[in-house]
Amino acid sequence: MAPTTSYSRTARAVRVVAHRGASHEHPEHTIEAYRQAVADGADALECDVRLTADRRLVCVHDRTVERTSDGRGAVSAMTYEELSAFDFGRWKGEAHRGARVLLFEDLLKEALAADRPVGLAVETKHPTRAGGRLEAELVRMLRDHGLADGRSGLVEVMSFSRGALTRLHRLAPGLPAVHLIERRLRAPRPPFAGHAGPGIDLVRKDPGLVGRLRAKGLRVRVWTVDEPEDVELCVRLGVETLITNRPRQVREQLAAL
């Protein structure tokens, strides 16, 4: 049966955010993955940020580098120069792609240089020995680029940590905040966080969660939505934003609904 007009309008309005770039096709958090995501039509680029020992912001998800590089050790215990010696091209069992660790500032410049508005969804990773220095450095960099007040609409911040979101709000109250949810909401949502981010596993188990969150006036984004049936489920439930490793495929499916 053909989709209704209202369903089609809903699907077309859904934002697509590239999870660590187009990470189904390229190693995560590499400039190639992000350039592919922009080419694939992603509305925004999702990244995880950590602070190195010499206080550089790098795009790395894990606390340590073993999974995504040919090196060993904790990100926070190494300098940017030390991290730069590793190959961060480990992906699907391969580790010979020659990718260097990506500075957040370089990703920021890449997004700003796009030929259309491309946003950034930035998750600060916790726990970390850097503590609040991570959020302070992120806001400092955004301020240097004129993006910390939130007026551009290009940057939003995310975290599972209520404390991290609180620090970000104090430093940059104009930035949209997303409270990420993995299994269930263990602590009260920060009142300033207007977005809720449950994982797709949680949404599958409890589809009614999306409606309850929306009834509280929250905008809902779901991660990580790669499968066609999950895309359809999220659209049906009224999810506003999908975070996906496959931005092109998801964009094409939304256009066809």
| pLDDT tens, N- to C-terminus, the chain (257 residues) | 334 445 666 788 999 999 999 999 999 999 999 999 999 999 999 999 999 999 999 999 999 999 999 999 999 999 999 999 999 998 776 655 789 999 999 999 999 999 999 999 999 998 777 779 999 999 999 999 999 999 999 999 999 999 999 999 999 999 999 999 987 766 678 999 999 999 999 999 999 999 999 999 999 999 999 999 999 999 999 999 999 999 999 999 999 99
Q: Within a domain: residue 146?
A: yes
Q: How many domains does the chain have?
A: 1
Helical (H) or strand (E) element with 66: none
Q: Within a domain: residue 9?
A: yes
Q: Within a domain: residue 118?
A: yes
Q: Of the listed 24, 26, 29, 61, which one is catalytic?
A: 61
Q: Within a domain: residue 182?
A: yes
Q: Within a domain: residue 20?
A: yes
CA dihedral 182, 183, 188, 189 (to 10 degrees): 30
Identity of the amino acid at 83: L
Q: Under a CB-based contact definition with an 8 Å cutoff, are residues 140 and 104 in contact?
A: no
pLDDT reported for residue 186: 60
pLDDT reported for residue 127: 79
Q: Within a domain: residue 97?
A: no
Q: Under a CB-based contact definition with an 8 Å cutoff, are residues 104 and 141 in contact?
A: yes
pTM exceeds 0.75 for this model:
yes
- 24 catalytic? Reply is no
CA distances from 196 to 130, 181, 184, 191 (A): 25, 7, 12, 11
pLDDT reported for residue 98: 81
pLDDT reported for residue 1: 35
Q: Within a domain: residue 156?
A: yes
pLDDT reported for residue 91: 78
Q: Within a domain: residue 12?
A: yes
Q: What is the CATH number of the domain that holds 242?
A: 3.20.20.190
Which candidate, 46, 51, 98, 47, places its Cα nearest to that of 75? 51
Domain that holds residue 42: 5-63+102-256
- Report the helix count and the strand count for the chain, using DSSP H and E: 10, 9
User: How far is it, in rounded angstroms, from Cα 104 to Cα 195?
Assistant: 23
